[in-house]
Structure 1
Amino acid sequence: MDITTLPVLATVLHAGAAVVTTLTDLLTPVVGPAGAALAVVVLTLAVRVALVPLAVLQVRAERDRRRLAPRIAELRRRAGRDSARFQRSLQELYASEHVSPLAGCLPVLAQAPVVSLLYTLFTHASIDGTVNTLLRATLAGIPLAQSAVAVVTSPLWVHGWLVLALLVVLAVAVECTRRSQLHWNPAPEADPTVPGAAAMTGAARWLPFVSVVFAALAPLAAALYLLTSALWTLAERAVLRRVLR
C-alpha cells in the first residue's frame, strides 16, 4: 500500500506540488528550463526564513551551553565513571538555568517534513491521481528526479560534473559549519575510562556528513534543498553568533 494515497498525505502532496509548480511557472519565463530547480531554491529560502526564530533559539542555547561549560566539566569530574549520575546532574543544571538541550535540533527537525515532501514529489509518477509533471523538470539536462548516483552510472554521466560539484559544495559547507560549531562550542575530550566514548566521538565527527550521503542518493531536487539549506545555515550562524553574543 502506498501511504501517499492516504487522504491527509495526498492532500499535503497535492498542495506541495501546486506550490512548486506555481513557482516554476513564475520563474520559467526568467530562467527557462531551470525554473523548477530555482523554484526548489526559492522554496528552501522561504522555509529557512520562516525558521529563523528557531535558529535564534538554537544559537542562544549554544551560547548558554558555552557559558555553562566550566560547570558541566565540574559535574563530569565529580561523577567520575558514574554516567547516570552525570546525566542527572546535567539535566538538573539545564533545568535550573532554563536551557533546552534539544534547541539545537529544532531547525533540523522542522525541515525534515519539507525534505520528505520534495523527495516524494520527485519520486512518484502520479500525485493525488494526476500525472506528476514535475518529473519532467531538469537542471542542465539532468532530471530533478534523478539522484547523483543514478546520473554518474547512466548515460547522463556526461553531466556528472554538475551533481559532483553540488555534492562537493555541500560537503564543504557541512565541514565549515562543523568547524564553526567546534570553535564556538568545543566538544569535551573523550573520557578513556568510559566504554565506547572514543567510538561516539568518532561517530560525532562524521555524523554531519550523513546529509551528503543522502543528497547523493536522493533526487536532485532534494539535494538542491539540502545544499541551499546548508549554505543558509553557514551564513545564518555566522550572523546570529555575532548578534547574540
Structure 2
Amino acid sequence: MSTFLSAFAGLVAHLADLLQPLFHDSSAAAAIILFTALVRLLVHPLSRAAARGQRARAALQPKVAELRKRHAKDPKKLQQAVMALHAEEKVSPLSGCFPSLFQLPAFFLLYHLFSNPEIGGRANGLLTHQLFAAPLGERWADALGGDGILGAAGLVYLGLFVLVAGVATFNYRRMKLVMATNPMAVNAEGGEAVPGLASAAKFMPFMSFFTLFSVAVMPLAAALYMVTSTTWSAVERAVLYRWQLAPGAAGSAAGSTT
C-alpha cells in the first residue's frame, strides 16, 4: 500500500507543480480536481454503457408488466421470469453499479494520502497545501476550532456546502420531474430482476445530500474529490438520461440508444 501511496503522492505533486503558475497556493487542490476529472473521463464509457442498459431495461417494462400479472401470486417465479427475460435480451440490471465501483480505488488512495502524516518514511508534504485558507489534510472540525464557521477556512467549507446543496437539489428536482413525466422510466432504473433496486433508485436523489456529511467529516482533499465527482455525475446523468424526460419514454426506449 505504501508503494502505491508514494507513487500516487508523486503524481499529485507533479500535477500541482504543473498547475502552480495558475493556481499558486491552491495548486494541489486544483490537481485533485483535475485528477477527479481524469478519473471520470476514464469511467465515462462505463457510464454510457450503463445509460444504454437502463434504456434497454425501460424498453422491457411492458413485458415486465405482463409477467407481473402472470405471476402476481408467486414472487419467486416472477423474479425468475424477469431475470430470464433480461438474460434473453442481454440486459444486466447491475450495469449501473460499475461506474461507481471503478472509482473506489482512486477515492481511497486520495483519502489515505491526505490522512497520513508520513508517506514512505517521509513527511507528507502535500498536507501543507491549501484550498485558499483551508489545509487539504484537515477537516471542517479543525476549521471550526480555529477561526470558527466564518473564518477564512470555515468560509471555504461553507462554499463547498452551498455547491453540494445546489447539486443535490438539482438531482432531486430532476428525479421528481422524471417520476412525474414517466414513472415507468424511473422504475426501470433499478431493474426488476433484483428485488429492492427499484426502490433504491428512487432514493438515489437524496444520496447527494449525504455528500454534505462527507464534506464535513473527511479530509478536505477527499471532500474535493467527492464534490467534483458528484457535480460531474449530475451533469452526466442530465445528458445521458435526458430521454427519461420525454413523455412515454419507457414505451419508446426501444429506439436508438444514448
User: What TM-score range do you get, normalising by the shorter chain?
Assistant: 0.7 to 0.9
Percent pairwise identity: 35
Distance 1:132 1:206 in 2: 36
Pairing 1:135–2:107 present: no
Structure 2 counterpart of 1:31: 23
TM-score (normalizing by structure 2): 0.78
Question: Structure 1 residue 178: deviation in Å?
Answer: 4.8
Equivalent of 2:154, from 155, 160, 179?
160
Q: How many residues align?
A: 229
Q: Residue 222 of structure 2 corresponds to which residue in structure 1?
A: 222
Task: Decide which moves more: 10-19 or 69-78.
Answer: 69-78
Gapped regions of structure 2 (runs ≥ 5): 189-195, 243-255
Aligned with 1:104 (options 93, 96, 119):
96
Tell me the distance in 1 between the aligned counterparts of 2:201 and 2:39. Answer: 31
Shift of residue 142 of structure 1?
0.5
The one-letter code sitting in structure 1 at the alignment partner of 2:78 is F
Query: 72-81 or 161-170, which moves further after superposition?
Result: 72-81
Q: How far, CA to CA, are the matches of 1:19 and 1:233 in structure 2?
A: 24
Report deviation, 1:56.
Answer: 1.0
Q: CA deviation at 1:72?
A: 2.3
- Aligned CA distance change for structure 1 residues 128 and 118 (closer, same or farther; 3 Å): same
Runs of 4+ in 1 over 6 A off after TM superposition: 199-202
Does structure 1 residue 73 correspond to structure 2 residue 62? no
Between 228-237 and 150-159, the greater mean CA deviation after superposition: 150-159
Q: Does 1:145 align with 2:144?
A: no
* CA distance 1:115–1:126, shift in 2 (3 Å): same
Q: 1:66 to 1:153 in 2, by over 3 A?
A: farther
Question: Does 2:161 correspond to 1:171?
Answer: no
Structure 1 spans left out of the alignment, 5+ residues: 1-8, 189-195
1:1-245 alignment runs, 5 A limit: 9-80=1-72, 82-157=74-149, 158=151, 159-181=153-175, 183=178, 185-187=185-187, 206-241=206-241, 244-245=257-258
SS of the residue 1:74 aligns to: helix
Q: Which residue number corresponds to residue 245 of structure 2?
A: none
Contact in 2 for aligned 1:33/1:138 (Cα 8 Å): yes
Decide whether aligned partners of structure 1 residues 45 and 203 sit closer, same or farther in structure 2, where only a CA change above 3 A counts. Answer: closer
CA distance in 2, matches of 1:228, 1:110: 16
Moved more, 155-164 or 33-42: 155-164
- 2: CA distance, partners of 1:152 / 1:79: 57
